[in-house]
Amino acid sequence: MMTTTQNLTGKVAFVTGATRGIGVETVRGLARLGAEVIIGARDAEKGVQVAEQLKQEGLKAVSIKIDVNSTEDHAAAYSYIHEHYGKLDILINNAGILRDEESVSVPIVNRTSTLPEKDLRETFDVNFFAPILLTRALLPLIRKSDAGRIVNLSSVLGSLTLHADPASPIYSIKTFAYNASKTALNAFTIHLAHELKDTSIKVNSIHPGWIRTELGGNKADLDEVEGSRTSILMATLPDDGPTGGFYHLDSPLPW
């Protein structure tokens, strides 16, 4: 069983896509452990509302506006965190999209050869390029942490091993843009973890589970609180915890 550090007093965390679903529950969970959490909100007004709600619960949370596709917003996030905290202990790249064109049909129809280029590029912009560029922008602040943690929200649908296995439960779920973007994000996790292997920073990909959110749908088997558990687990790893892995809870998943 993987152990975690449960006291986050003095730690600073930043969670993107954090005004709803898994994101807001991840913020709530980290704040309950004592962290000061920054809500990354594309909708500035909604971010302020969520931060105020958490403050009413006795939790430390603030909100900043960030469109994860905007490098100007990345720079602004860096400036805000540098000015107010001087470091960043936890970065959770939570924001992501699944285009409607891939998810409207049940059963899902494989549209790999016909999916519009626009949908493919937009999916990769949010799910792959945005986490890379934001992480790069904030890495100088994460290096100032005694124990930096970077958590990339992937999906079991990014597993090439499972997609190639006819006996796999995800074998028929060929939503190409989404799946491929998560596979690529996993590659980023492996490469960045290797680059940082001689530091105190740990980088991991996670599969939150099939969650009842706008993305996961109402037939999913887990709620949003349960969906936040793996993110929190990887954000609170001790010094001897893993890096460069792909997990659901404390179980490794195949690449």
Residue 62: C-alpha distances to residues 88, 149, 172 (Å): 14, 20, 41
Does the residue 5 lie in any domain? Answer: no
Q: Could you tell me the CATH number of the domain that includes residue 21? A: 3.40.50.720
Does the residue 6 lie in any domain? Answer: no
| Sequence-ordered strand ranges (E) for 16-145 | 36-41, 61-65, 90-93
Nearest to 126 by CA among 16, 237, 208: 16
What is the count of structural domains for the chain?
1
Nearest to 124 by CA among 90, 91, 98, 89: 98
Does the residue 163 lie in any domain? Answer: yes
Chunked mean pLDDT (size 10), the chain, 255 residues: 81 97 95 98 97 96 98 98 98 92 73 94 98 98 98 97 96 95 98 98 94 49 81 97 97 97
Mean pLDDT of the chain: 93
Does the residue 3 lie in any domain? Answer: no
Instruction: Supply the pTM of this predicted model.
Output: 0.94
Does the residue 79 lie in any domain? Answer: yes
**Angle at Cα 42 formed by Cα 41 and Cα 45, nearest 5°?**
70
Identify the domain containing residue 77 by its residue range. Answer: 12-252
Q: What is the pLDDT of residue 200?
A: 98
Distance CA 224, CA 150 (A): 20
Q: What is the pLDDT of residue 216?
A: 47
Say if residues 146 and 90 touch (Cβ distance below 8 Å): no
Q: What is the pLDDT of residue 6?
A: 80
Distance CA 102, CA 115 (A): 8
Does the residue 194 lie in any domain? Answer: yes
Residue % of the chain over a pLDDT of 90: 85
Residue 97: C-alpha distances to residues 130, 166, 224 (Å): 12, 26, 16
Q: In what helix (H) or strand (E) does residue 233 lie, and over which residues does it extend?
A: helix 224-235
Does the residue 7 lie in any domain? Answer: no
Instruction: Give the active site residues.
Output: 178
Nearest to 159 by CA among 68, 230, 246, 231: 246
